[in-house]
Amino acid sequence: MTADPEPTPAGPETVSQFESATTIHPASARSATGTHALPETPVDLIFNPWVPEIHANPYPVYRRLQQEDPVHKPFPGVWILSRHRDVAALLRHPDVSSDRRNSPVYEEFVKALPVEPDEGALTPSMLFLDPPDHDRLRRLANKAFTPRAVERLVPRIHQVVTELLDRAEERGEFDVIADLAYPLPVTVISEMLGIPEEDRERLRAWSLDLIYTLDPMLSVEALARAQRAGAEFRSYLRELIAGRRRHLGDDLLSGLIQAEDQGQQLTPQELVATCVLLLVAGHETTSSFIGNGMLALLRHPDQYARLHDDPALMRSAGEELLRFDSPVQLTGRLVLRDAQIAGQRVQAGQDVVALVGAANRDPEVFAEPDRLDLGRTDNGHLAFDGGIHFWLGAPLARVEGGTAIASVVRRFPALGLATDEPVWRDTITLRALSSLPVAVT
């Protein structure tokens, strides 16, 4: 995952600003530094992810950007990268930051928040921190979120998937999102953290509002809803953590509370921010992986049948499904110092957006990138980000997503889509379906 579910310096007016900047303007001539000038872009090339047709299928526009305007500047101060090599380099660039507090407009953003920030509201998770703070938090989280801990969850993941599909099979039709892709990761992460079952619907409601803050721009109303949800969520977590401190167990939350590195532990605010990250960003990414992956397979019946006939293919199939329709479509970085990025001179304080979804369909890296090939090898996708911010929960997401998809394909060899037009959620950073009705035929 590549973003933190907390308010970011998007600014309340930025939706209209972005929507008015739909035409790419030709760049100026070569700069005095000798860097390459941006190519002149056709005036009909539009990149506005809120446009319905682009939102439903961004990949044709991604391809045009790669071919005609790979370093896209929709308006001053913002750059958009679409090539794999540029996106991968940005995620490891030493002169960029994930910490939005470094933005020159951060203080103005905080003052303009529609709701007064509560305690911990502005404490970023590790995904929105730079070294050394990022490294300290990650080491602490790693102590509780280990590969061995994920391995211990495998039997429970299989059990949850089986129970969910048993209920689905009884009905003869089901919704992949509501009946599998959402409840599986929420059940697993909630059990890991010791969230009572009766509280998980509240988690869903909070998550649906908070997930919009992953987007680079959002309305005042959406930001206000997210702030209120975040305040309620953090208050709930503080109470949960206080109770767990009194009665430590062998769960993930107890592990995070006790984790220590060089005499340091997570502060109370950092502990809450880490839990929000795991609960919201973690389960949303896995849910999208399952939903998007199942849609891709059902639209490619030859690959669905291929996986059914050869279950051992699931390892490479999971990576291909992550590449083909990535849960996270974009991520951003703030430029700290004037730097060379993708062949251009980018000034300090400017923002660079990496189109992860485009990078994962780059023909320079992937042969026939628009073809779903479950046997694809050397799959260097960037679905889980890259560099120091590689998603902490990636091993768990792979196990959950792989188990869910493989189980559906094995159990329902003749599953079919019950709609020709699946509905996508109106989020931009996270590419996720609202529902995916299917029928057992």
Range of the domain at 89: 14-440
Please report how many Cα atoms fall inside a 13 Å half-sphere around the Cα of residue 368, on the Cβ side.
Answer: 7
| Residue at 260 is within a domain | yes
Structure tokens at 417: 């889509």
User: Is there a domain that residue 6 lies in?
Assistant: no
Backbone angles phi, psi at 352, to 5 degrees: -125, 125
pLDDT computed for residue 146 by the predictor? 77
Convert the chain into a string of H (helix), E (strand) and C (coil): CCCCCCCCCCCCCHHHHHHHCCECCCCCCCCCCCCCCCCCCCCCCECCCCCHHHHHCCHHHHHHHHHHCCEEEEECCEEEECCHHHHHHHCCCCCEECCHHHCCCHHHHHHHCCCCCCCCCCCCCHHHCCCCHHHHHHHHHHHHCCHHHHHHHHHHHHHHHHHHHHHHHHHCEEEHHHHHHCHHHHHHHHHHHCCCHHHHHHHHHHHHHHHHHHCCCCCHHHHHHHHHHHHHHHHHHHHHHHHHHHCCCCCHHHHHHHCCECCECCCHHHHHHHHHHHHHHHHHHHHHHHHHHHHHHHHCHHHHHHHHHCHHHHHHHHHHHHHHCCCECEEEEEECCCEEECCEEECCCCEEEEEHHHHCCCCCCCCCCCCCCCCCCCCCCCCCCCHHHCCCCHHHHHHHHHHHHHHHHHHCCCEEECCCCCCECCCCCECCECCCEEEEC
5 in a domain, yes or no? no
Spatial separation of the C-alpha atoms in residues 346 and 336, rounded to whole Å: 10
Q: Looking at residue 17, what is its pLDDT?
A: 27
For residue 430, give both structure tokens: 């996270």
Name which of 300, 237, 299, 306 is nearest 273 in CA terms: 237
At residue 6, the pLDDT reads: 44
Number of domains in the chain: 1
Residue pLDDT tens, the chain, 441 long? 444 454 444 433 333 222 222 222 222 222 223 334 444 555 567 678 888 888 899 999 999 999 999 999 988 899 999 999 999 999 999 999 999 899 988 898 898 889 988 888 889 889 899 999 999 989 888 877 778 888 889 999 999 999 999 999 988 889 999 999 999 999 999 999 999 999 999 998 999 899 988 888 888 999 999 999 999 999 999 999 999 999 998 888 998 999 887 788 889 999 999 999 888 887 899 999 999 999 999 999 999 999 999 999 999 999 999 999 999 999 999 999 999 999 999 999 999 999 999 999 999 999 999 999 999 988 999 999 878 888 888 889 999 999 999 999 999 999 999 998 899 999 999 999 999 999 987
In a domain, 117, yes or no: yes
CB atoms within 10 A of CB 241: 18
The structure tokens listed for 134 are: 């990022």
For residue 239, the model assigns a pLDDT of 95
pLDDT at 44: 64
What are the pLDDT digits (tens) for 240-269? 999 999 999 888 899 899 988 778 888 999
- Measured between alpha carbons, how far is 7 from 20 in angstroms, rounded to an integer? 23
- 227 Cβ partners below 8 Å, 6+ apart? 7, 113, 114, 115, 117, 121
The answer to the question of residue 252 being in a domain is yes
Does residue 221 form part of some domain?
A: yes
Q: What is the pLDDT of residue 391?
A: 83
2 belongs to a structural domain: no
Which residue type is seen at 380? Answer: G
**Residue linked to tokens 């860097």:** 35
* Cα–Cα distances in angstroms (integers) from residue 358 to residues 328, 389, 395, in the given order: 11, 19, 23
Give the pLDDT of residue 105: 87
- Separation CA 11–CA 29 (nearest Å): 31
φ and ψ of 345, to 5 deg: -85, 110
One-letter identity of residue 383: A
Global pTM reads 0.89
Whether 8 is in a domain gets the answer no
Q: What is the CATH number of the domain that holds 398?
A: 1.10.630.10
